[in-house]
Amino acid sequence: MAVIETRDLRKRYGRVEALRGVTLKVEPGEVFGLLGQNGAGKTTLIKILLGIVKFGEGEATLFHHPAGTADVRKRVGYLPEDHRFPEYHSAYSLLDYYGTLYGMPKDDRRTKIPELLDQVGLASRMHDKIRTYSKGMKQRTGVAQAIFHDPELIFLDEPTDGVDPVGRQEIREIIEERRRKGATVFVNSHLLGEIEMMCDRVAIMQRGELIREGTVQELTAQRGVFILGVEERDAFPEAELRQMGYNLRAVRDRWEITLADGQSIDPVLQLIRDKGLRLTHMVEKRQTLEDIFVSLVEAAEPGVEARRKKRLAARDRDRDDRGRGRDPYDDRYRDDDRRGRREDYR
Amino acid sequence: MMTKPIAILKDSLREAWDSKTLLVMLVLAGLFLIGVASIGYTQATPQSVFENYLKDLSEPVLRLDRGKRILPMTRGPDGGPPRALANYTLTTFRAIKEAGHYPNGEYEFTLIVKPFDPTNPDGKKDETKKDDPKKDDPKKEAGPEADGFETAVALWHEDGSGRFLKIEGRNELDPSKVKVRVGAVTDEMVRDYFATELERHTQVPITEFERLMTENPKERMYRVKTGPSSEPRVWPVKLSLLFGLFQSEIPLPLGVILYLIQDIVISSVGGMIIILIAVIVTAFFIPNMLRPGSVVMLLSKPISRTTLLLFKYFGGLFFVLILSTFVVGGVWLITGIRAGVWAPGVFAVVPLMTLSFAILYAVSTLAAVLTRNSIVAILVTVAFGGLLWLVGKVESIAAVFRYQADALAELKKEEPEYPTWTKIAGGLNRALPRWHDIDVLTGHAVMDSLMTLKQQEARGEAALEKHQPSWGGTIGVTAVWIVAFLALACWWFSVKDY
């Protein structure tokens, strides 16, 4: 039984078509990520599901009930993007207020508020006014209020926005904990790495339409491209492999082999063993979610990829100038590199 | 069930408290209450009270219908500028029975009546004519034409039956055209006139009343004995301000002073200040709630938009309710302790002031929901309040015109004729939220609590009673407007995407 289900959902803002027939299903216990450029319709979709925005055509249900009703909202937690809390509240009083609106008993609120604020790292400041909080602290408050009433479904719109790396890690842990407790989590984020780390399933939205949907594994797998490294780099049997019909290229001290249709990596490994070489590195190359995202967006909106490449080239030139060249295939730099690209994208 | 709405109310209060405005207002109100507490009330001496009573009777006004209807003079008895029909002075005074609480004592005094004399309107010449025996006889009927005093007494007894008066002309009560029948004013009528007016002014009864011989044929002299009274609100007092730093020499009835403090200072001026500040402070509540990052937080909660908006609105009313309760309750407590007058009726000011604000805040709420802008909400509200104030002012002037026309028509057994503009003012006042009428009703609620009926008659207020707006109409029409504004605001808030 799907927790979220939409069918051919449409929404117009005047002449702008914000949603163009979105059909989506999110199953219980999933952490579902929705990706998309600014203005793609991600936030509109969440707001429709919560009844904050009225939809034009189609169907939208939460827990098999019409989306947006007060009864349904009681089972949902929400952290909006660019939220603004009443600054006359402290984190404690805010949670107390929102907890009352969710119908939580007073004793429950008193017990849970300090525990939860401790969990999000705000225990020492919980009675201070929100106006004195940093952006990261406000974001932690936002996460806390979204999960305070133990909702079955949690919508998080850019949950790690403005949060430092440690805070991001903590938020990821909180999401994981909620998932373990059986909650369904729906995450909107620009931080593709975060989505990749947190989500079971991902959908990509472009101009009000879902253009791709699947598990992270499904989306990022790139069949037939392997990176190999041997201890004796110069002895790598490049010529024999080319003769065997393999397409390969040197990438610093490793080799990238792209299999043609019907080819297998096994003969390559066999040849390396026969030659008595020691294999030090072998991975099947995967695409990052960002690669997928950008290529899909490029397909839907030509020009995006060109602009991205231009930015990456400019960045690489800048790095070279500063003598900071790195091996892009070195796993140690993988996360860092991806983050850099994400920042470029943003 | 009510926990969610109460939480929204508490949130509004927290917002007001956080802005420090409520605190500042409470501190200012506290200072004002200290000022009220600094007022001392000293009972005026009996002689000064009786002198003042006669001085009041000497005012150039026309008292009709046993003094229940007081009209300003448009002309004097000779057709000139307005002048009193008679002047009254106190000559001798003594206490028959002393009392620590003056109203409980018994007193005797003589008073001299000098009717208006057209040949000596300022009363400077000595018109004594000792050789006219006819004038010396107090029991003799008045001359062929009644003098000013007789006219005053006859007017006072005139209840619209035309027994004493014949009035000429239209739309004004001109004493020079009032004809009193010769011999119609008896000593009993004179006693009734003095006794009733004295009771109004002091709540002291006349126990003996006797006309004395006088040497001046144009004067009358009466000996009056009074009995005890225990009504604390009526006996005049002298005020001292700032714990005795300033002393007032003019005695005024305690009830009138308390009424002036409560109605003029608190209900009118203080109320206007409270409402104006509340309009400004509360105008931020709803636009703040509707800011893009804030409204989605609330709309995602399991509460209907209508409940959210309505209780945010009630939160604004709560602000005024707290302030007005603090001020009115404080004044009630202080005047009770200081003056011994415990008048629970003054608490009517609290809901009525809140109702006055409720109209404006409904407009503010609608403007805020439509524009999400506090400044626009303030400007629209102030403009609407200004319109209501203007209509109310014009209506209050029109009410006096209508009242006078009614009084005259009643005396002349004719249908009253009102100027067209008074009809327009009345129509507008009836159709729009009854801001002015709430003010009038507030004043009356306070007056009923602080002044006796006879005191109100002495001020001409009792006769206005039947011209007062009705409670049902005032609250009903106002409530319809409030509901209409809020319904529109709720509808817009419910259908809008955020």
pLDDT band at B172 (very low <50, low <70, confident <90, very high): low
Q: Looking at chain A, which residue has its C-alpha nearest residue B296?
A: A52
Element (H, E) at B432: none
A-to-B residue pairs, Cβ atoms closer than 8 angstroms = 78
Q: How far apart are CA B74 and CA B405, in angstroms?
A: 13
Chain A positions touching B304 (Cβ under 8 A) are 70
Q: How far apart are CA B258 and CA B451, in angstroms?
A: 9
Chain A positions touching B491 (Cβ under 8 A) are none
Q: Where are the beta strands (DSSP E) in chain A?
A: 4-13, 16-26, 31-36, 57-62, 65-66, 76-79, 153-157, 184-188, 201-206, 209-215, 221-230, 247-251, 254-258, 279-286
Interface test with A, best of B23, B301, B305 (most A CBs within 10 A): B301
Contact B300 A84 (CB under 8 A): no
Whether residue A44 contacts residue A56, with contact meaning beta carbons closer than 8 Å, is answered with no
Task: Give the closest of A80, A88, A129 to B296, CB-based.
Answer: A80
Chain A positions touching B302 (Cβ under 8 A) are 70-71, 73-74, 101-103
Q: Looking at chain A, which residue has its C-alpha nearest residue B308?
A: A101
Whether residue B210 contacts residue B110, with contact meaning beta carbons closer than 8 Å, is answered with no
Residue B296 CA to chain centroid, in angstroms?
49
In the predicted model, what is the mean pLDDT of residues B385-396?
93
Q: Distance from A226 to chain B by nearest Cα, in Å? A: 47
Per-residue pLDDT, A338: 40
- A221-230 and A279-286: which strand pairing? antiparallel
Contact B293 A84 (CB under 8 A): yes
Q: How far apart are CA A208 and CA A6, in angstroms?
A: 13
Q: Distance from B250 to chain A by nearest Cα, in Å? A: 51
All residues at 6 or more sequence positions from A187 whose CB lies less than 8 Å from its CB, including other chains: A31, A32, A33, A34, A156, A159, A175, A194, A195, A198, A199
Measured CA to CA in angstroms, residue B160 lies from A67, B86, B183 at distances of 73, 22, 19
Q: Distance from B18 to chain A by nearest Cα, in Å? A: 6
In the predicted model, what is the mean pLDDT of residues B220-225?
94
pLDDT band at B459 (very low <50, low <70, confident <90, very high): low
Q: How far apart are CA B164 and CA B151, in angstroms?
A: 9
A interface residues, B as partner, C-beta within 8 Å: 13, 47, 50-54, 70-71, 73-74, 76, 78, 80, 82-86, 88-89, 93, 97-98, 100-103, 129, 145
Per-residue pLDDT, B341: 82
Partners of A33 in the beta sheet? A187, A202
Per-residue pLDDT, B326: 92
Contact A102 B301 (CB under 8 A): yes
Chain A positions touching B10 (Cβ under 8 A) are 97
| Per-residue tens of pLDDT for chain A, all 346 residues | 799 999 999 999 988 999 999 999 999 999 999 998 888 999 999 999 999 999 889 999 999 999 989 999 999 999 999 899 998 999 999 999 999 999 999 999 999 999 999 999 999 999 999 999 998 899 999 999 999 999 999 999 988 887 888 888 888 999 999 999 999 999 998 788 888 888 999 999 998 999 989 998 888 777 788 999 998 777 899 999 999 999 999 888 899 999 988 889 999 999 999 999 999 999 888 777 888 888 777 777 666 666 666 776 776 666 666 654 444 444 443 444 443 333 333 3
Chain B positions touching A78 (Cβ under 8 A) are 296-297, 300
Q: How far apart are CA A35 and CA B409, in angstroms?
A: 83
List pLDDT tens digits, range B57-108: 999 888 888 887 777 777 777 777 788 889 999 999 999 998 888 888 999 9
Whether residue B43 contacts residue B237, with contact meaning beta carbons closer than 8 Å, is answered with yes
Q: Distance from B22 to chain A by nearest Cα, in Å? A: 14
Task: Give the closest of A52, A54, A71 to B302, CB-based.
Answer: A71
Q: Looking at chain B, which residue has its C-alpha nearest residue A54?
A: B497
Contact A74 B296 (CB under 8 A): no
Number of Cβ atoms within 10 Å of the Cβ of B139 = 6
Chain A positions touching B5 (Cβ under 8 A) are none
Chain A positions touching B298 (Cβ under 8 A) are 101
B interface residues, A as partner, C-beta within 8 Å: 3-4, 7-8, 10-11, 14-15, 17-19, 288, 291-294, 296-304, 495, 497-498
Q: Distance from B296 to chain A by nearest Cα, in Å? A: 7
Average pLDDT, chain A: 86
List pLDDT tens digits, range B49-59: 899 889 989 99
Number of Cβ atoms within 10 Å of the Cβ of A284 = 12
Q: Looking at chain A, which residue has its C-alpha nearest residue B493?
A: A52
Highest mean pLDDT among B160-164, B179-183, B381-385: B381-385
pLDDT band at B127 (very low <50, low <70, confident <90, very high): very low
In the predicted model, what is the mean pLDDT of residues B313-326?
91
Chain B positions touching A86 (Cβ under 8 A) are 11, 15, 288, 294
Please tell me what DSSP assigns to residue A13. E
Q: Looking at chain A, which residue has its C-alpha nearest residue B1?
A: A103
The size of chain B, in residues, is 498
The pTM of the whole model exceeds 0.80 = no
Task: Give the closest of A50, A97, A102 to B11, CB-based.
Answer: A97
Q: How far apart are CA A258 and CA B322, in angstroms?
A: 78
Structure tokens at B259: 């009424």
Say what the ipTM of the complex is: 0.76
Q: Distance from B301 to chain A by nearest Cα, in Å? A: 6
Per-residue pLDDT, B410: 74
Q: How far apart are CA B339 and CA B260, in angstroms?
A: 14
Residue A319 CA to chain centroid, in angstroms?
27
Contact B19 A82 (CB under 8 A): no
Residue among B7, B309, B278, B22 at smallest CA distance from A99: B7
Q: How far apart are CA A37 and CA A294, in angstroms?
A: 10
Q: Looking at chain A, which residue has its C-alpha nearest residue B16?
A: A88
Contact B300 A74 (CB under 8 A): no
In the predicted model, what is the mean pLDDT of residues B239-246?
86
